Chains A and B, each alone.
Chain A
Amino acid sequence: MNLPDFCVGVTGLNMTDSPAPGVAVMRCIKEGFKNRFTGIGFGYDSMDAGLYERQFFKHVYLLPYPSEGPENLLERILTIHKKTPMDVIIPTLDAELFNFISIRKDLQKEGIMTFYPTKEQYEMCAKIKLHVLGEKADILIPKTSVEKELKKLSAGIENIGFPLMVKGIYYDAYLAYSYDEVYRFTRKIVSRWGMPVILQKYIRGVELDVAALGDGEGGCIGYVPMRKLIITDKGKGWAAVTINDQKISALVSRFFSATKWQGPAELELIKEEGSDNYYLIEINNRFPAWIYLSKAAGINLPYLTVLMARGETVEKNQPYKIGVVYNRGTCDLVFDMKQLEIMNMEGELHYE
């Protein structure tokens, strides 16, 4: 019998110095399936390098930007689905998740399965509401002030004290030591992402990160904690090692129990210097760009996400290997101008 390939679509294909997770997620899934598998890539810009990673994707398409709303996203995905039927779709970008949550039922009606957080979970983990989750799950959150108006910024600064982090609602975070710096970073953030901005007490310490997958019932299918070994000037982890820390394990368990999290998550933590306190800095509703480390450490979290989306029974609390290191490298993707032309003119490319 000649069964069709199982087809998974993944978004987030930019591969800059702050890369999106899509290519790493697809690498994990492809290695999980081994054969009879087709990968579809979704980018937002014809220069998203992942669109030209033909080793992982058979078909690549451009999607409308998240600002165009859920209706346009659905229309585009269903058009693609007619050409290249998909079984599962995995979004990997913060800015697009709300749209994907809005169209979840429509996708399911068309036979496209998903396994990402609910609207309530999405809202619960917003940077501006993190302290509420902290109280619920008994997790330390740095002192935070959400500023909706520029004129109230100085009150927020006084409330938090220096040094502090100035953060945008989706992206960007800067460390500020003075009023001047706070105002400068705020203007920069507002020009890109608008208000509000988030002021957060800076916690000095070791940067840790956790990639995890929740079963949607309060359990954890698996998680991989790491310590960053190299941090770029943008604050991104460029090398890391998997670790075994019982306090992180307990924190992750409390998080899943309190949120009944469904799907992928990234928990960014700091272990405070000179104390045994672990602060939760941020939660992302998606896998991190370093997710291939999970596969390398023995838990292929993106592949397990596909299995969960398919409704399969998956073993919980899967173990991982400690002391597995990743060190990110870069390579230049070379392709013909014709491919760039097709991507720009038609918004899709097909590799065979």
Chain B
Amino acid sequence: MNKQLTDITVSDTGFVFNPSTGQTFLLNKTGLFLVKLLQSGVSVKKFPACLEKEYHIQQKEAREDIREFLSLMRDMGFKVEDI
């Protein structure tokens, strides 16, 4: 389990607070869904299928968006795998 991700506080509104760095940021509905998957320890490889199931997005289309989202998370200092 990624401790960095389990330590952050995520509210249902999408407001995120990282208690170790003091950073705050806002997530949209999809971002919030993905962060909750990361916190639950779901492998990023399964993200396209999860998005398809939840939002009926084609997996091929979802893959690019997920890649971009994970890259943003890395820019913010989170150690997350690439898809």
Contacts and interface: CB of A to CB of B under 8 A. Distances in A.
Contacts of A246: 20
A206 to B, nearest CB: 7
B77 to A, nearest CB: 10
Interface string A309-332: 000000000000011000000000
A246 B20 CA distance: 8
Interface string B61-78: 000000000000000000
Interface string A183-205: 00000000000000000000000
Interface centre among A242, A243, A246 (most CB of B within 10 A): A243
A323 B17 contact: yes
A227 interface: yes
A243 B20 contact: yes
Contacts of B9: 323
Nearest to A228: B22
Question: Interface residues of B: mostly helix, strand, loop or mixed?
Answer: loop
Contacts of B21: 206, 227, 243, 245, 271
Interface in A237-253: 240-246
A226 B21 CA distance: 9
Nearest to B17: A323
Nearest to A206: B21
A208 to B, nearest CB: 8
Interface centre among A226, A227, A229 (most CB of B within 10 A): A227
Chain A interface size range: 10 to 19
Contact of B19 (A206, A229, A271, A323): A323
Contacts of B17: 241, 323
Contacts of A242: 22
A322 B19 CA distance: 7
Chain B interface size range: under 10
B26 to A, nearest CB: 15
Interface centre among B9, B17, B22 (most CB of A within 10 A): B22
B76 to A, nearest CB: 12
Contacts of A206: 21-22
A246 B17 CA distance: 17
A29 B19 CA distance: 27
Contacts of B22: 206, 208, 226-227, 229, 240-243
Contacts of B24: 241
A241 B24 CA distance: 10
Contacts of A271: 21
A243 B20 CA distance: 5
Interface string A256-286: 0000000000000001000000000000000
Interface in B9-51: 9, 17, 19-24
A323 B7 CA distance: 12
B79 to A, nearest CB: 12
Contacts of B23: 227
A244 B21 CA distance: 8
B8 to A, nearest CB: 11
Given A227-B23, A243-B22, 17 more contacts: A206-B21, A206-B22, A226-B22, A227-B21, A229-B22, A240-B22, A241-B22, A241-B24, A242-B22, A243-B21, A244-B19, A245-B20, A245-B21, A246-B20, A271-B21, A323-B9, A323-B17
8 contacts: A208-B22, A227-B23, A240-B22, A242-B22, A245-B20, A246-B20, A271-B21, A322-B19
